[in-house]
Structure 1
């Protein structure tokens, strides 16, 4: 009976929760990285150099870093439904306001405020999934959720490219129309969140009573097993001091540097080969389509084998190699292939990585720890784009910046191996311990 119930409940969770949170992340990621397409005409219109654009793009993550932990602790206290709705409405408003920047200072300010507005969304959803999905399904659930980022690139790139070909309307240039049009869904979905999200399994009226009881018992059993483990951390302050949290943040730093280098700079890197805005969008989409498939299959394999370490190390090494290849690329075909390798590596690493924190964190500790990993890790999203922009200005080429970002992914792989071999701080072995 338990086996049948597990299959039924897992299926209901996947269909009720995952498509909706994927939609939210799709819109979130689109609003983060559409600046890469806006830059095609915005930079000249408001006087942004490559270095200034890279700095502004990266400032998003400074605002994100400063407000991530407080935001996730508030979400833990008031519930995901209310807080995620707040996040979406405010980031939609700020994203739309980006259409009215007039120079470097206002561009920097709006990018910083966008990070403040969106702080807490991603770690909030990761925390939310850990409250619903048993350990055996957690990496797959996270992978489906995070697949929205490459899907957003795959579908959003051609759309953004097409919007950049619009004529001037309502007194707005194409890059301004792009910001406004793509911000509307975030605001509207913020109100939908209030109707769709359920805070905890105990409130899930869409599960039958016996299904709800089974899920709550399963999650409670896993929580007790986790809490009995010597490496368990439940307090917020303890989580923030936990060296495993800092190690995971450093690992995530490299993947974030790679992800947002792609998001902000890939359209401009591809465009230099003489493609139109729409053609650039299509070419930018191709690597992301492949990455989605790789991400899901790799996460399923990680769950099935209950192995995390090598499921993070191998993709990080692959992405590093992709960046080195991209730095050497001399044709459009080579650059698209290189970006495809990078995309696959970065996407595949994320779900196994995000399955790790909930193995030794719970309660307020999970809220604070997951937010800390994401906030520090996302500083890679500041360093990567800024390094690309500064080195492009200094050298006239993207190559040096691509090598720097590749090095951060090599570091991620090394730290993952070091963490897995620390017997006194077992993160990766925890799944097997629980089973």
Structure 2
């Protein structure tokens, strides 16, 4: 771990600790709701398709079309956040996506499903890269990977708590004349909007605005972040145009694309896969079992970044972590034992969640200024297209080969390819600034 600041400046250390305690739990809550609102359609898959008449292909396309809207508006959304500040823009994102998610209660067929999923992606565009950019404005390099690692607790927590919650809401079927999946979308969407309003009053755009820091802490943290930002601007791309053509940024985008294929190739179908393993319909019991892989992911996303901070090769650790995920995805369909399949899903989830804080240490250690806002958004935008391709590639492969297992084998292969690409980052410049 880089200790240039932590050993030299107690004011900086105190500011970083306060910022982690105040900001990260709230950002984590936001991410839990964001991840749940984009992925909860997986819990409702069977009942949702039955009530709306959607085919398997239509469901896969609708699940994935979210990422088209998301990707198209990522860069402009993050640039607007750079201009207007996090508290205004995060509020706007969360309120609009929550309302659109709640509007999923009105889905009646393919067109309305596609339209609302696309609009949900447009509304949420900029949230995740906005948070990564926001953290880069608050934490110097030695603390940033840890802060991002804590933030990534959101994905597993969304399923540890959101799985049983979604299962419970699905069991409200018939209450007040509504389907269970309608209650799920309505309640979880409105929760996001409420937290969005809260964000406007809770967040501060930069350390200099934080009244909860002492004057000395505000100065120390602001200077540390500014000094790093100037260094990155001087040694990396300096404007949006140079980011768009920067080969390192495009290479990182390719890696993130493959990571997201593994994530959403599993996420959108995990509840149904677990339901088949335990021989139950998707409900609270399946929701509880589905939370097990995410508990493993929660442990991994804490331990792996801690391991990487000990001065080891971050890229190689990331490659091994993602390779473990690939093995888990393949083993989850290769085994005939429900216990072994569930264990394999634990490896898959642990790998593709834990690798992501390591991944983001590379672009945040390389990009500064407006190039950071645009570059982080571009990487997330292009990478998030993996969330569109994953369910559609899975559905196409299974239909073409008449095999319910073939799709996950293909996704295991793309995940392994992503692991291989990480090795290409090993000797690239600015690696040491990443952790």
Q: Could you tell me the TM-score, scaled by structure 2's length? A: 0.95
Match of 2:272 among 268, 292, 301: 268
Q: For the Cα contact (< 8 Å) 1:50–1:392, is it kept in 2? A: no
CA deviation map 1:42-99 (0-9, x unaligned): 1011111212111110000001111111100111111111011000011011101111
Q: In the aligned structure 1, how far is the partner of 2:115 from the partner of 2:400?
A: 25
Instruction: Tell me how large the CA RMSD over aligned residues is.
Output: 1.6
Residue 428 (str. 1) matches residue 434 (str. 2): no
Unaligned runs of 5+ in 2: 1-6
- Go from structure 1 to structure 2 and tell me whether the alpha carbon gap of 1:81 and 1:306 turns closer, same or farther (over 3 Å shift): farther
- Go from structure 1 to structure 2 and tell me whether the alpha carbon gap of 1:391 and 1:279 turns closer, same or farther (over 3 Å shift): farther
Q: For the Cα contact (< 8 Å) 1:14–1:141, is it kept in 2? A: yes
- Go from structure 1 to structure 2 and tell me whether the alpha carbon gap of 1:162 and 1:150 turns closer, same or farther (over 3 Å shift): same
Alignment-derived partner of residue 194 in structure 1: 200
CA deviation map 1:165-217 (0-9, x unaligned): 11312221111111101111111011101100000111111110111111112
Alignment-derived partner of residue 316 in structure 1: 322
Alignment-derived partner of residue 55 in structure 2: 49
Alignment-derived partner of residue 221 in structure 1: 227
Quote how far apart the aligned CAs of 1:390 are.
2.7
Between 15-24 and 335-344, report the one with greater CA deviation: 335-344
Alignment-derived partner of residue 353 in structure 2: 347
SS in 2 for 1:304: coil
Matches within 5 A, 1:238-249: 238-249=242-253
Alignment-derived partner of residue 40 in structure 1: 46
CA deviation map 1:375-427 (0-9, x unaligned): 111111111111222333445543111111111211211222123345xxx14
Q: For the Cα contact (< 8 Å) 1:154–1:286, is it kept in 2? A: yes
Alignment-derived partner of residue 210 in structure 2: 204
Matches within 5 A, 1:21-100: 21-100=27-106
Q: For the Cα contact (< 8 Å) 1:53–1:389, is it kept in 2? A: no
Alignment-derived partner of residue 386 in structure 1: 392
Quote how far apart the aligned CAs of 1:429 are.
3.5
SS in 2 for 1:355: helix
Aligned residues: 427
CA deviation map 1:215-260 (0-9, x unaligned): 112122223433443xx12211111111111111111112111111
Q: In the aligned structure 2, how far is the partner of 1:234 from the partner of 1:38?
A: 45
Match of 2:332 among 326, 331, 342: 326
- Go from structure 1 to structure 2 and tell me whether the alpha carbon gap of 1:161 and 1:392 turns closer, same or farther (over 3 Å shift): farther
SS in 1 for 2:336: coil
Q: In the aligned structure 1, how far is the partner of 2:333 from the partner of 2:284?
A: 24
Q: Could you tell me the TM-score, scaled by structure 1's length? A: 0.95
